[in-house]
Each structure stands twice: as structure tokens, then as C-alpha cells.
Amino acid sequence: MKKTLIVAAIAASFATAASAQSSVTLYGLVDAGFTFVNNVQAPESADHYKNSSWSMSGGNVNMSRWGLRGVEDLGGGLKTVFTLESGFDVANGGSLGGTGFGRQAYVGLSTNAGTVTLGHQTDSVTDYLGPLSASGSWGGTYFAHPGNLDNLNGDLFRENNSVKFQSANYAGLTFSGLYAFSNAAGGFAANRAYSLGAGYANGGLKLGAAYMQANLQNYAATYGSAITGVTVDVPNLGTSQIAEFGIDRHRTFGAGGSYSIGALTFGALWTQTREDNFASNVGSNIINNYEVNGRYALTPALSLGAAYTFTNAKFTESGSSDSTRVRFHQFGVQTDYALSKRTDIYAEGVVQIASGLPEGVMPNAGISGAPGGASSSSRQVLLTTGIRHRF
């Protein structure tokens, strides 16, 4: 009898150890609230008649998502890792991105030196510069730079067919590289993407720098390419078709840093996005963004945040030395109150002012992600409040 009990206890211990070697976690975030925009162009109006917009909206700070992540310990420091993440619109229950796992889908191996993953993933600009910006951290969707072309929050696009290496942490230093295949026969370099990035953290100091390039050249609508199906509207610069017969080359690079002192965190960063042969060889864009931001925790539950971005955009017509310049000033403030470790309520306000263009021509403001789209004037104000829950 004693032997039977001993064997049973040993078997149970082995079963427990085996189950501890692998795990799968279900996680997610749901963000919903109400948004007011003071000025939106009427879609049916040729003269862009002014309208205000009241809406129940989702993803005001973070896009709602759910996902599965898992790890299996293979022994000797080697692990299998995977993530499957799907975005959805909580306002109507619809899927975002048009695919089952449009936010992330990858599998790979992790060692003490770093992790190699294959699939649909974020690039180094999103990974290293995003957390230093308001949009990629606490501010979220509406704090994105005009047009969100630098993609700091990762909501504009992610790379398909990608192989990514993320290093381990070496005394605060980390680095990564990504290469996304075109998957096109005879077009290896025609619609690919790649990126490099590095970061350093020590105490309250965080630094980051990154570069990303996509060579598109009209393959995106035909093949399962590196970046697909992304179209954004940049006021005054027209419709920017990043991956559908619009831009031959899309590049973003930048650097930034942040510093925390007690309850205060402040930061600054710069990004530049260049788009060559924009809109079927009509011209090229150069967009510089300069951002400063700060956040202060009044109590463990209540925080205040603010950010300012100056954007200087230049559009040059193909074959011409003349260029059109548009400038944007964007101010954003946020207050957030944590009801628990997983649930918080928030309120935000964003103001954008556009200037530039030839005399007599009005530049249009357009807060990124604003319900209804761009303003009919050079100013736009957005107010939003809502609730966010993580699980």
C-alpha cells in the first residue's frame, strides 16, 4: 500500500513538472467610449460643409484586441514561443484588419541570446520609438502624428512574411532587426520591407533609435507582399496609398528618449517619413515630426498627461523644384483614473492647427483616427472619454 502511494505521488509530481514546462495565455483589451469632433467635412458636400460629429467609438486610446500567447520550455535555455492576436471594433463587433489575426501572428524560438520569430509582426520603429511617444504609450490613437505615417502605435500597418530577431537584454542594451519577404516570383526586392532598431534603459533613462524601409513598387495589390491594404488620408497632401499602387518607397527613421523622476516621466523624439514616387509618380513627401510629452501620477490611481507635436511636411511634384509646405501644431491632454489593476476610465482632448500652403489656400486639419475624417477648416478639436478593460 505504501509503495502504491509513493508511486502515485511521484507520478503526480512528474505530471505537474511537465505541465509547468508549457503554457498558453488568453489575453485582451476592450476600449470603448464617446467622441466629439467639432468640425468634419460632409462626405456628400462638394464645398466641404462644416459638421460636428458625436459618436460612440471604440479604440479611443488602444485598439480593442484579444489574443493567445504561449511558451514551451524545450530545455537547455531553448523555448518555443508564439502569439496570435486579433483586433476588433467593440462598437459593432467587426474584425479589424480584414484577417483573423491581423494584429500579430508569429511563432519562433527563444534562447538566452535572443528570440527569432516568423510571421506577421511589428517593425523596429514601432518597437523602439513607439514607447517613447504619447501615441505609442499612454496617449494612444488620437495622439498619433498627422496621418500616422511613422506608425509609432503600430495601428497603420504591420509586416507580413517577416523574420525578426529580438536580442536579449545586455546591461540595458537591446536591439532588433526584421526582414519581410515579398513572396513574389521574380520580384524578391520589389515589395519587401526591413528595419533595424536599438534601445537602452538604465534607471529612469530610456533611449531608442530605429529605421524602417518598404520597397513597394506596385506589387502589393497582386502578391502576398510585405505590406498590404493600407490607405491613409493626409490633409493637404492627398490620399497616401502606402501599399496599393501608390508609393515606390516608404522610409521612416528617428530617435528619442524619456526620463522618469519619481511620479514624473517626460520625453522627446523626432521622426522623419519619406515617400518616393507618391501617388503614381506624381511626387514625393517628406514629413518631419517633433514631439515632447510628459505624464505625472498625482496618486497611484490618477495620472495626467500632455503632448505637443510640430509637424513640417513638404510635397514636391515629380520633375519640379517647387514644393508645397504644410505645418501642423497638435496639442493633446489626458487624464486617466484606475478603478482597479485591469480597469480604468479616461478623458482626452486633442487640438490640431494647420498652416502653410500658398496665400488664399486654406490648409485642412485632420486628427489621425478622428471619426468622420478631416476638418473643413485649418482647425479641429476632438474630445473623448471612455472605459478600458484588460484581461
Per residue in 301-338, pLDDT tens? 999 999 999 999 998 876 666 778 899 999 999 999 99
Residues 321/315, Cβ–Cβ less than 8 Å:
no
Radius of gyration of the chain (CA): 23
Mean pLDDT, the chain, integer: 87
Residues 245/280, Cβ–Cβ less than 8 Å:
yes
C-alpha dihedral, 273 to 191 to 122 to 314, nearest 10°: 10
Which DSSP string do the residues of 69-96 spell out, in sequence order?
EEEEEEETTEEEEEEEEEEE-TTT-PEE
Q: Are strands 231-234 and 323-338 parallel, antiparallel or unpaired?
A: unpaired
Residues 345/334, Cβ–Cβ less than 8 Å:
no
C-alpha dihedral, 148 to 150 to 154 to 156, nearest 10°: 50
Residues 234/246, Cβ–Cβ less than 8 Å:
no
Residues 174/190, Cβ–Cβ less than 8 Å:
no
Residue 1's pLDDT is 46
Percent of the chain with pLDDT over 90: 67
Report the alpha-carbon distance of residue 32 to residue 279 in Å, rounded: 35
Question: Nearest Cα to 8, choosing from 16, 70, 125?
Answer: 16
pLDDT confidence tier of residue 217, bands split at 50, 70 and 90:
low
In the chain, which ranges are continuous DSSP H helix? 2-20, 124, 278-281
DSSP 127: I
pLDDT confidence tier of residue 221, bands split at 50, 70 and 90:
very low
Most confident of 49-53, 232-236, 385-389: 385-389
Residue 13's pLDDT is 43
Residue 225's pLDDT is 76
Q: Write the burial class of residue 383 (CB in 10 Å: 0-12 exposed, 13-18 middle, 19+ buried).
A: middle
Does position 60 have pLDDT exceeding 80, yes or no?
Answer: yes
DSSP 19: H
Residue 96's pLDDT is 82
Three-state DSSP state, 115? strand
According to CATH, what is the number of the domain 23-390?
A: 2.40.160.10
Does position 12 have pLDDT exceeding 90, yes or no?
Answer: no
Which has the minimum average pLDDT: 13-22, 247-256, 343-352?
13-22
Identify the sign of the CA torsion 95, 100, 106, 107: positive
Per the DSSP assignment, residues forming a β-bridge with 314 are 286, 325
Report the alpha-carbon distance of residue 83 to residue 103 in Å, rounded: 10
Decide which of 42 and 173 is more confident.
173
Report the alpha-carbon distance of residue 346 to residue 134 in Å, rounded: 15
Q: Which phi and psi (to 5°) does residue 8 adopt?
A: -60, -40
Q: What is the pLDDT of residues 266-306, one digit of tens each?
A: 999 999 999 887 655 567 889 999 999 999 999 999 999 99
DSSP 365: P
pLDDT confidence tier of residue 11, bands split at 50, 70 and 90:
very low
Question: Nearest Cα to 140, choosing from 35, 21, 17?
Answer: 35
Region 52-73: what's the mean pLDDT? 96
Structural domain boundaries in the chain: 23-390
Question: Nearest Cα to 132, choosing from 153, 113, 155?
Answer: 153
